[in-house]
Structure 1
Amino acid sequence: MEKLTQTVQSGDWKQEKHVPSIHAEKSGENLDIKVYIGEEIAHPNTLEHHIAWIKVFFKPEEGKFPIEVGSYNFQAHGESDILSIPCVETKIKADKGTVYALSYCNIHGLWENSLEVK
């Protein structure tokens, strides 16, 4: 039996329109996080082919497991296209660790990326 984790795809977000790009910047005691799908190569985002959701996780440097810090659904379907742009921003109380992003394309499945923050 295939595990869900075996279906998650990854790659270079500068070469593939489905891989979440992650930007994280320290702001005092907080971490500002931005996740974008299609930053370098735009995702079509039509009714037939769109990003349905993005989830953001953070694993503290000394932590054992990642913590879900955001879950974003894109359900603003129009007649011929989707109006939402798959880009999310959040701010968390964190310092060092790893930011993970997971996204779902209705045609091409699950995609992931991560960014270590020092």
Structure 2
Amino acid sequence: MRVIVRRERPHPGAQLSLFEERDGWRYQAFVTNTTTGQLAFLEARHRAHARVEDRIRHAKDSGLGRFPSREFEINRVWLMLVQIAADLTAWTRLLALTGDAKSLAACEPKALRWALPPDLGHGV
């Protein structure tokens, strides 16, 4: 098991913890049980997980965090619909939000719903 700690200068306007404010650096740590590989590869692989965490956050914003019932079957269908909505949002960002609309690809789901044109956005 290895713990890898990365030190970086925070970007302007970043919210720092008390520990980070003291010395002016931001620290990021992650644990891996991968025994081989260059540090740069391991760090890049770890950073790729940020997209996964964003997708989970978007799914929670789209209903994953709130189950509507105490009934298992109703919640099962709800979860399936939330997963479909998360997939549709991800594919819309990838395939439809290009060119002039590229800036919308970084929007949160709630902002994206209102930022798209009326004939396209309110069905998302």
Answer yes or no: same fold by TM over 0.5: no
Q: Which has the higher contact order (CA 8 A, sep 6+)?
A: 1
More strand by share: 1
Calculate the TM-score normalised by the size of structure 2: 0.22
More helix by share: 2
